[in-house]
Structure 1
């Protein structure tokens, strides 16, 4: 019973992207109480209802597109472009999800390097030369790589 109430409450919350609640989009009116479901019209003029529903869905789709674009613009303002070349040396940040379960411990190194870039697959994906003994994929996203500086205290191998 509690799950049904939670679902009803969730479906009647206004979405920040569309400004409408889910039941308003699906049932064409915002339901405030469960017995509002019984007051939905039983006879409707199909053509008028279809046009109204199409207009509602087009408006919601436009709102979603507009909101997504604003999120994208906001995120791109803080994004920095990173371009590495083949043969550059980088430091690679290691994340827990790169390792098999049980093989990553919190005392393991958080970054390795310097590692040489062997190939570029995409503007944001590079293959690096990993040290011996690492049984993980050598392909890293550029967000997990940073330029190697000799002042970092790591020696080239």
Structure 2
């Protein structure tokens, strides 16, 4: 990948600011996750670590996990989805009524069971009744659990 390891002290003005950008991103993530749970913020730290490690960086085009280990921890599904498999579904705002989808709502939900394959790239997923959205998902919106 062509990365170069550099050691430096904090607040050193001649550096390129990568650490500060990372710290700002982590701070924003923690503020979003902790929001109403300030007294139990220790319970969201594993979620924050997982989320940060598996989010794609704009400059590298990879997740931090991929940079370190060479492969993605959250692989998207190929054509190997079988009925009965458990998947996570991507929740898009356009699937919900305009007022019901919040900005800080989870981007994925699950695990849910695949109940049927419709064609080459559409699947019926067994969702809870209170979701109120279509049970048919495109392969791009599914992730193996």
TM-score range relative to shorter protein? 0.3 to 0.5
Structure with bigger gyration radius = 1
Greater fraction helix: 1
Q: TM-score, normalised by structure 2?
A: 0.45
Q: TM-score, normalised by structure 1?
A: 0.42
Q: Greater relative contact order: 1 or 2 (C-alpha under 8 angstroms, separation 6 or more)?
A: 2
